[in-house]
Amino acid sequence: MTAPILRRLADLRALTRRWHGDNETIGVVPTMGALHKGHLSLVKAAKAGCDRVIVTIFVNPKQFNNPEDLANYPRTENEDAEKLAPYGVDAIYVPDPEEVYPQGFSTTVTVSGLTDVMEGPFRPGHFDGVATVVAKLFLQTQADRAYFGEKDYQQLLVVRRMARDLDIPIEVIGCPTVREASGLAMSSRNLLLSPEGIATAVKISEVMQTLSDRLINGHPFEPLKQQAEADLLNAGFSQVEYIDLRCAETLEALPHASRPARLFVTAWADGVRLIDNIAVPAT
């Protein structure tokens, strides 16, 4: 059965008040729609961990630094609702824009430090937009737990820090990246890739895995990074924005896999910006 679609905050609040009044826990899965198996794995985790589950769908203009990217972002509400039907979610919150950004909205949530690296410099304003909308969605849904994919690992750390710093009483749970059989991380952006683009894109996970295996064998990062960049360019990527090895908790750059780390890659194939990351255990 398809879940009710709510567009007004007052309607959402009426439900969440009732659920909390009955001592039920609420999980939220924030999304921008164009749902794929990665999102659905978050919904499954929320269903397993909470009595009630809300999926939010809101294409947040404040987190797009490129107006073309915002205009081209897929909007597939009916298909999304159909995809959610088998999961038994309790509500789909698709807020009217003025419910999120009412006339005269003038507050921005900025998380410093974690946002100074990787996606931060490449996408100015992006994390302010994410932190602001996610703070609103946490407060609007009154959820006890929120589910985010590790695919956007930096985003996961940023929203976790934001909730902690602002004393929003919610547990932010990271869920593993869902991959195609080829290793390609699931992403709404994969829809924009041609078959040749997909053949190139799958190389990201191969290159990351090779690099990670060498790090685990004790090799230093810098020469491996140069080799990985050359491998990606040879595989057909037009540009590699960054390949970073960072502490999994603080995102501090690491010269070796000397503590639990993540390896991050962002590169362009077929005119599409692809990001991915994997865990690298400490050696």
Catalytic residues: 39
Distance CA 138, CA 15 (A): 15
Contact between 50 and ligand PAF per CB under 6 A? no
Q: What minimum distance in Å lies between the beta carbon of 155 and ligand PAF?
A: 6
Burial class of residue 23 (count of CB atoms within 10 Å of its CB; 0-12, 13-18, 19+): exposed
Minimum distance of ligand PAF from residue 147's CB (angstroms): 10
The tokens of 74 are what? 């897929």
The interface mask with ligand PAF, positions 154-193, x = CB under 6 A, is -x--------------------------------------
Check binding of 254 to ligand PAF (CB under 6 A).
Answer: no
Number of residues that bind ligand PAF (CB under 6 A): 10
In three state form, how does the secondary structure of 84-143 look? HHHHCCCEEECCCHHHHCCCCCCCCCCCCCCCCCCHHHHCCCHHHHHHHHHHHHHHHHCC
User: Minimum CB separation from ligand PAF for residue 186, in Å?
Assistant: 12
Query: What are residue 9's phi and psi, to 5 degrees?
Result: -60, -40
Which residue from 40, 39, 34 is spatially nearest to 58, judged by alpha carbons? Answer: 34
- Pattern 5-44, binding to ligand PAF, x per CB under 6 A? -------------------------xxx------------
In the complex, minimum distance from the CB of residue 238 to ligand PAF, in angstroms, rounded to a whole number: 24
Q: Can you tell me which of 80, 99, 144, 152 binds ligand PAF, judged by CB under 6 A?
A: 152
Pairing between β-strand 52-57 and β-strand 91-93 as defined by DSSP bridges: parallel
Contact with ligand PAF (CB under 6 A) among 60, 140, 187, 212: 60
| DSSP H or E stretch at residue 69 | helix 67-72
Q: How far is CA 76 from the centre of its chain?
A: 18
> Between residues 109 and 133, which has the closer beta carbon with respect to ligand PAF?
133
Residue 152 or 270: the one with the smaller Cβ distance to ligand PAF is 152
Q: How far is the CB of 261 from ligand PAF (least distance, A)?
A: 22
**Nearest of 180, 181, 172 to residue 152 by alpha carbon:** 172
| Residue 133 found at the interface with ligand PAF (CB under 6 A) | yes
Which residue's CB is nearer to ligand PAF, number 35 or number 232?
35
Strand-pair category, 261-269 with 272-280: antiparallel
Contact residues for ligand PAF, defined by CB under 6 A? 30-32, 60, 63, 130, 133-134, 152, 155
